[in-house]
Structure 1
Amino acid sequence: MEQYQFEVCANSVESCLAAQAGGANRVELCAGIPEGGITPSYGDIVIAREVLNNTLLHVIIRPRGGDFLYSPIEQRIMLKDISNAHRLGADGLVFGCLTAKGDIDIPFMEQLMEASQGMPVTFHRAFDVCRNPQEALEQIIELGCSRILTSGQQSTAEQGIPLLKELQQQAAGRITLLAGCGVNENNIARIAAETGIREYHFSARENVKSAMTHHNEAVSMGGTVHIEEYCHPVTTARRVRKTIEVLINKAD
């Protein structure tokens, strides 16, 4: 059987627990999922560390949504967040930064890597908006990152299969490619078969209705941006397990 690894994008401690129950190898703990994931709170990291015993805890370091060109003050925040995550017992970190021209920001990445003190680092989907993915792959390897989270520079990993396959061949075992974005029980086997990638990142979330019985639909906490506020997405052990089993059974 192929050796696969499964990472769940966990938007809460509740999702971390579900990922662990479903058999995930690790979680990427983050807040602000609609923004693509930002640094989780101090409390989230502390409690996630307390409850995870069979699943590795990786923490995203991203001070805001949007692009990956960071100001000096944002860079200071990221360095402090790395220090906190290390002190609180995270098993790994997830970050990435670019220059204004869309290249890997080598000088700042070197600072972040030094601050990580040898912890495994995943270069996240900043990779998917970089100017030259083939060149970036080589630079990220040189920086000492453990893996790259990528959808093959497309909206989903399934759409990015051609580039994912090319990058997997270019990497040649020097770094791990972690295929993510839109990966689920319906497409994970196809992505694996066509790319040769062995690590997968997915959320396996379902919407859970709020227990509140009183609703005021006239008020939105997002102001003019209206989101559903009486339900929230959470990872379920059932979907994690199902996604893993699809690929494991296919390999068998």
Structure 2
Amino acid sequence: MYRVALEVCIDTPDGIAAAMGADRIELCSSLALGGLTPGVGLVASAIAQGAEVHAMVRPRAGDFVFSTADIDACLADIAFLRTAGVKGIVIGAANEDGTINETAIAEMVAEAGNLDVTLHRVVDISPDPVACVEVAKRNKIKRILTSGGTSSVREGLPIIKQMITASEGVEIMAGGGLTIADIEPLIDAGIHAIHSSCGTDIAAKGAVSRIGINATQRMTDAGKVAALKAAIHQKVTA
């Protein structure tokens, strides 16, 4: 049977339990900033709960044009994550023209050893997301997360289809502005995996806005995880 995996990105200890209905989790800190490398405690909690953990490796917010110090921090994080027991890592680095920084990527892949490697949505700032499939092949990267070079998978579906066509040996995972309505056309296109935060905004506890902290926070919603999983199952078994 054609199988489409569901990956949920989370950044809180409580989110781990809420996401356990997914096939795997992308573990981050600070999803509001696009996702940064998770801390030691969050990694330990996810592994202790039995999740299949694929950890983000991104040392700072902002762009993906990394300095030598940034890359050194990425390599140190990968070394830690490899020994911590994660299943995979999620990486990306760009040149100033938006193309993939293959030198940095190759260093990270080498440091990852036998971990699964996902190339994240840095491909969506590339002038040619389809060409990033060949970058992944050259660097023995297992999968690519993409919205097809746009802000949402719906808008980017034509490019995602081209990436799937070119993807022999590389999994294409769709994520970015994804809704349940996108599941059917993505599966019809031959997508390998679906990626979502499955988040719900809730009011933060306490008067944190008084000290300049955002008064809402986004929490993983187990109901949304279950609904996405069910929609995928319904489509692939139809």
TM range (shorter): over 0.9
Match of 1:13 in 2: 13
Verify the 8 A CA contact 2:11 2:31 in the aligned structure 1: yes
Query: Which amino acid is 1:8 matched to?
Result: V
Match of 2:60 in 1: 64
Match of 1:40 in 2: 38
1:133-189 Cα offsets, whole Å, 9 max, x none, are 232210211100000000000101111100001110111x32000100122323222
The TM-score normalised by the length of structure 1 is 0.89
Verify the 8 A CA contact 2:142 2:170 in the aligned structure 1: yes
Q: Work out whether 1:100 is the aligned partner of 2:96.
A: yes
Partner-residue secondary structure (3-state), 2:130: helix
- How far has the Cα of 1:217 moved from its partner? 4.2
Q: Percent of counterpart pairs with the same letter?
A: 27
The TM-score normalised by the length of structure 2 is 0.94
* Uncovered stretches (5+) of structure 1, i.e. residues with no partner: 222-226
Query: Which amino acid is 2:153 matched to?
Result: A
Question: When the two structures are aligned, how many residues end up with a matched partner?
Answer: 237
The one of 186, 203, 210 aligned to 2:181: 186
Query: Which amino acid is 2:229 matched to?
Result: I
CA distance in 2, matches of 1:238, 1:89: 28
Relative to 1, partners in 2 of residues 1:219 and 1:69: Cα closer, same or farther, differing over 3 Å? Answer: same
Partner-residue secondary structure (3-state), 1:102: coil
CA distance in 1, matches of 2:102, 2:209: 47
Match of 1:161 in 2: 157
Query: Which amino acid is 2:211 matched to?
Result: V
Verify the 8 A CA contact 2:187 2:236 in the aligned structure 1: no
The one of 169, 173, 178 aligned to 1:174: 169
Relative to 1, partners in 2 of residues 1:151 and 1:216: Cα closer, same or farther, differing over 3 Å? Answer: closer
Partner-residue secondary structure (3-state), 1:186: helix
Q: Work out whether 1:208 is the aligned partner of 2:232.
A: no
Q: CA RMSD in A?
A: 1.5
CA distance in 2, matches of 1:198, 1:101: 29
